[in-house]
Chain A
């Protein structure tokens, strides 16, 4: 049932302060735009959950229906869509993203050690 997928996505967005819907995983992105977005979040040293939308086409369908946003990746913060790769890049370069996401002041462009991944609904990789 697609409603179950939609509910799971809604719950994931509500339950995770920062969540990225992407192609592939943070360790193995399957698209350049997803890879760039992951790299910016890692540079800011903010913990984030990640969902791979590729395993089931309904994930992307339902996600776009919820967010009214057609493309992947999609970054959410506190339940709100921050944007896709273009907006995240603009905000990263202006420093807005660090402020908005509450990045540590000493965040350096060096990726932190990855936290352990735990199995979760619709393949959320929890990096909190």
Chain B
């Protein structure tokens, strides 16, 4: 029965997708390819679409595979199955967290984890900027537009904090970047 397969398959994905979207891709691949739900090529396309559209790759893939295999009910089942483990784990942690966080050994470990997360996120930001703004410069026909766009966006975003009290919201920045992207690259 396809619904049960979808449920079991995406519960598995949801349970073991540790460590960010990219680390989870190999696992997602195994599950969806072994069931024959998508072809290798569709999966590559889908990852490209997921990177561009909002939402975690895992959830997007679940919705996509669910729809293609069993319509809307399939999409709902697969999507809910993919998020259920994360939901339950956080609930569990929240319930025991108060005690957990008061433990001095947990706090000692937590200090290291906080430092690590700050480092990881900064690195991901640097790498994304390098990929999307600096790398086009090294292409055969060097493309200066992305870097110029990055400069203008940075100026708008950080500059707005000096002028306005709270500065421009991230959502507004994404909106502006999409419009500028259409003008720069899409026409």
Q: Is B a genuine binding partner of A?
A: no
- Give me the interface of B with A, judged by CB distance under 8 Å: none
- Give me the interface of A with B, judged by CB distance under 8 Å: none
